[in-house]
């Protein structure tokens, strides 16, 4: 750890509710007013609420790609792998622990090649179809199997059962590239109309679900600027209008999510909103979420596990771009949606490393997740919490055996990645009021002065539910612990607990053979009054749960 008497001479970076401040703030002399000198400060303005943290911010994404559905989620009822009606039991048990508010399915790019009718009815008679991803470079060496030729054993009823088992709302993504608005209406009818009212409802009942599935969230296409149809924003806006026009809701309020830009493409956003509203601004009321996809990519040689210290900071910095994407999209949307009727749904996000660490060659985009990915998960979730007034949903890509996954599975082997532990810790924020915060700490990371900004040295978020204050924080320094002073403005602590996810090495990760290599641990803190201290180990994620007086 760096010497404390350097305080006042090192560069400090403040991150607040509005994100990382571009300028460096030099804290001149003097130590914070705690008994021990502090390297960093976390200031929570308890009276200033930003908005409710939508539980759906802690959402997930599952696509028919590689090992996500087949083997990851679905093992089949006759499998030797412990299962609940064909769904992997270990996965269900772990999912319950993270309170997954919503799960998106069936894609991704796959969604715009999927006919929902293929996935209903007796499994033995469902058609086998070529999977959208069959020609991906990485799949060439993979053996044939359900990852290449989809048996459709997992369809709408199985997916919604999975959601019910884990306590999540289903979010279905409709095929705009290949199917029609009538097919979309029919899918909504199949899912939501009461038994006895329509033939599709009776078909659903015959397929084992007499009660309506009550699917609320519907995505209209996916990446419609690319794999979802190569549309222009104007063409897509026209399709979107057609798909959502007068869809009977069967008594279930429908929340439509439109396919937003690739990364930060503001033109896509401006032109979609302009076209959508050209005849009727009231259509803004029909859009629940503006889908935003952002993969921070990878760094250096692109290796998931074998990376340098520079790669560590570089990738955290790239992940931090989420902050500006949100604020820039929000501003572009406001050029037309002045009242901010439409919110953001970040329905794909995560790191995307090179192939090579997948647990099976057919598990396309499968990758190991290390402590680096855990910090990316944490700093991204904190970003969503700080923008609780803007972001209503987010779905990490993807749940299992894929990019930025929470789980790895191969036949009877299963383990949770460090990302899972972050989601379990951060579930404490769900439904709380996001509070304005300011994090102040020395900037970190190798950088060229005048060219690259250092990464902030501490960031996080806070929320309040009743008398419980929840603070989460990320210390990105690969080497130095931080002595943080927690300052509560407008409240005092009675007591508190702290949980820390850290590890001896930034490359650490869990494997089938060593599934508990990385896991959080409880740390004692003395949380009393309006100022107290917390020690944040290097390369760590912390959760503080504070009881307020």
Catalytic residues: 223, 348
Shortest Cβ distance from residue 132 to ligand AHR (Å)?
Answer: 8
Q: In this complex, which beta carbon is closest to ligand AHR, that of residue 310 or of residue 354?
A: 354
Is 109 one of the binding residues for ligand AHR (CB under 6 A)?
Answer: yes
Residues numbered 53-82 forming contacts with ligand AHR, rule: CB under 6 A:
63
Torsional class of 119: left (φ above 0), alpha (ψ -120 to 50), beta (otherwise):
alpha
Which residue matches tokens 């869809």?
Answer: 247
Q: In this complex, which beta carbon is closest to ligand AHR, that of residue 107 or of residue 476?
A: 107
- Contacting ligand AHR (CB under 6 A), which of 32, 108, 146, 538? 108
Of the listed pieces 26-34, 395-403, 458-466, 532-540, which binds ligand AHR according to CB under 6 A? 395-403
Is 112 one of the binding residues for ligand AHR (CB under 6 A)?
Answer: no
Of the listed pieces 103-111, 150-158, 298-306, 367-375, which binds ligand AHR according to CB under 6 A? 103-111
User: What is the rounded CA–CA span in Å between residue 319 and residue 53?
Assistant: 20
User: What is the rounded CA–CA span in Å between residue 424 and residue 426?
Assistant: 6
Total of residues contacting ligand AHR (CB under 6 A): 10
Shortest Cβ distance from residue 527 to ligand AHR (Å)?
Answer: 40
- Contacting ligand AHR (CB under 6 A), which of 39, 323, 348, 483? 348
Shortest Cβ distance from residue 526 to ligand AHR (Å)?
Answer: 44
**Cis check: omega of the bond before 300, within 30 degrees of 0:** no
Q: Residue 188 in contact with residue 215, Cβ under 8 Å?
A: yes
Is 222 one of the binding residues for ligand AHR (CB under 6 A)?
Answer: yes
Helices of type H across 68-112: 89-97
Which residues, at least 6 apart from 4, have a Cβ–Cβ distance to it below 8 Å?
31, 37, 39, 483
Shortest Cβ distance from residue 357 to ligand AHR (Å)?
Answer: 16
Q: CA 46 → CA 387, 389, 397, distances in Å? A: 16, 16, 33
Shortest Cβ distance from residue 228 to ligand AHR (Å)?
Answer: 8
Residues numbered 405-444 forming contacts with ligand AHR, rule: CB under 6 A:
none
Which residues, at least 6 apart from 93, have a Cβ–Cβ distance to it below 8 Å?
none
Of the listed pieces 155-163, 253-261, 396-404, 484-492, which binds ligand AHR according to CB under 6 A? 396-404
Beta strands in 431-530 (DSSP E): 433-442, 459-465, 468-475, 482-489, 493-501, 521-523
Shortest Cβ distance from residue 97 to ligand AHR (Å)?
Answer: 24
Is 398 one of the binding residues for ligand AHR (CB under 6 A)?
Answer: yes
φ/ψ of 351, rounded to 5, equals -90, 155
- Contacting ligand AHR (CB under 6 A), which of 160, 397, 416, 455? 397
Is 131 one of the binding residues for ligand AHR (CB under 6 A)?
Answer: no
End-to-end C-alpha distance for the chain, whole angstroms: 34
**Cis check: omega of the bond before 370, within 30 degrees of 0:** no
Residue of closest CB approach to ligand AHR: 108
Which residue ranges make up the site for ligand AHR (CB under 6 A)?
63, 107-109, 222-223, 348, 397-398, 403
């Amino acid at each position: 750890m760096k010497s404390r008497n350097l305080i006042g001479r090192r560069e400090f970076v403040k991150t607040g509710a509005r994100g990382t401040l571009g300028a460096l703030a030099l804290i001149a002399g003097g130590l914070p007013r705690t008994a021990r000198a502090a390297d960093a400060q976390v200031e929570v303005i308890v009276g200033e609420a930003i908005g409710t943290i939508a539980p759906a911010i802690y959402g997930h994404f599952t696509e028919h790609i590689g090992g996500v559905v087949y083997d990851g989620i679905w093992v089949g009822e006759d499998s030797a792998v412990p299962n609940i009606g064909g769904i992997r039991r270990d996965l269900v048990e772990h999912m319950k622990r993270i309170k997954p508010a919503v799960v998106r399915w069936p894609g991704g790019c796959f969604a715009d090649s999927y006919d929902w009718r293929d996935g209903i009815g007796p499994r033995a008679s469902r058609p086998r179809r070529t999977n959208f991803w069959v020609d991906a470079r990485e799949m060439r060496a993979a053996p044939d199997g359900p990852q290449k030729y989809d048996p459709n054993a997992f369809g709408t009823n199985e997916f919604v059962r999975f959601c019910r088992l884990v306590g999540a709302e289903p979010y279905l993504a409709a095929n705009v590239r290949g199917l029609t608005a009538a097919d979309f209406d029919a899918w909504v009818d199949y899912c939501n109309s009461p038994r006895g009212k329509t033939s599709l409802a009776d078909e659903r009942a015959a397929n084992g679900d007499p009660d309506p599935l009550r699917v609320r969230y519907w995505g209209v296409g996916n990446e419609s600027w690319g794999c979802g149809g190569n549309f222009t924003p104007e063409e897509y806006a026209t399709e979107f209008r057609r798909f959502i026009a007068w869809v009977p809701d069967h008594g279930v309020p429908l929340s439509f999510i439109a396919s937003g830009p690739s990364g930060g493409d503001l033109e896509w956003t401006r032109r979609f909103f302009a076209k959508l509203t050209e005849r009727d601004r009231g259509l803004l009321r029909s859009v629940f979420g503006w889908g935003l996809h952002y993969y921070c990519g990878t760094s250096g040689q692109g290796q998931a596990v074998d990376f340098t210290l520079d790669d560590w900071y570089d990738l955290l910095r790239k992940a931090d771009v989420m902050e500006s994407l949100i604020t820039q999209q929000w501003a572009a949307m406001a050029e037309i949606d002045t009242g901010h009727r439409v919110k953001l749904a970040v329905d794909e996000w995560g790191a995307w490393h090179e192939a090579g660490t997948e647990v099976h060659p057919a598990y396309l985009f499968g990758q190991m997740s290390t402590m680096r990915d855990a910090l990316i998960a944490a700093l991204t979730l904190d970003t969503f919490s700080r923008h609780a007034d803007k972001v209503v949903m987010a779905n990490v890509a993807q749940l299992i055996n894929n990019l930025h996954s929470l789980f790895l599975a191969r036949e009877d082997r299963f383990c949770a990645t460090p990302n899972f532990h972050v989601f379990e810790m951060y579930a404490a924020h769900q439904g709380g009021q996001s509070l304005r915060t300011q994090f102040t700490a020395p900037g970190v990371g190798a950088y060229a002065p005048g060219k690259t900004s250092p990464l902030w040295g501490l960031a996080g978020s806070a929320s309040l539910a009743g008398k419980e204050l929840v603070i989460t924080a990320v210390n990105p320094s690969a080497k130095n612990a931080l002595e943080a002073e927690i300052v509560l403005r407008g409240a005092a602590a009675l007591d508190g607990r702290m949980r820390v996810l850290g590890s001896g090495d930034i490359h650490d990760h869990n494997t089938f053979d060593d599934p508990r290599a990385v896991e959080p641990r409880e740390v004692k803190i003395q949380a009393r009054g309006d100022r107290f201290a917390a020690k944040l180990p290097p390369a760590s994620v912390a959760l503080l749960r504070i009881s307020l007086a």
